[in-house]
Amino acid sequence: MWEFPYASVIGLAEAIRYANDIGVQNIYDYNKPLVKKLREGLSSVAGAQVLDRGSQVSNIVTFHKQGFELSNIEQVLGNNNVYYSVSLKQNAIIDFTRKGVDWAIRLSPHYFNTEKEIESIVDIIASIKKRYLFFD
Compute the radius of gyration of the chain from its Cα atoms: 18
Residue type at position 27: I
19 in any annotated domain: no
Assign residue 70 the CATH number of its domain.
3.90.1150.10
Number of domains in the chain: 1
Q: Measured between alpha carbons, how far is 118 from 129 in angstroms, rounded to an integer? A: 20
Which pLDDT score, from 0 to 100, does residue 42 have?
A: 96
Which pLDDT score, from 0 to 100, does residue 128 have?
A: 87
1 in any annotated domain: no
97 in any annotated domain: yes
24 in any annotated domain: no
SS (H, E, C) 11-56: HHHHHHHHHHHHCHHHHHHHHHHHHHHHHHHHHCCCCEEECCCCCC
11 in any annotated domain: no
Domain range for residue 35?
A: 30-127
57 in any annotated domain: yes
Instruction: For the chain, list residues with pLDDT below 70.
Output: 1, 130-136
| Residue 26 CB neighbour total at 10 angstroms | 12
115 in any annotated domain: yes
6 in any annotated domain: no
Q: Measured between alpha carbons, how far is 18 from 15 in angstroms, rounded to an integer? A: 5
Which pLDDT score, from 0 to 100, does residue 136 have?
A: 43
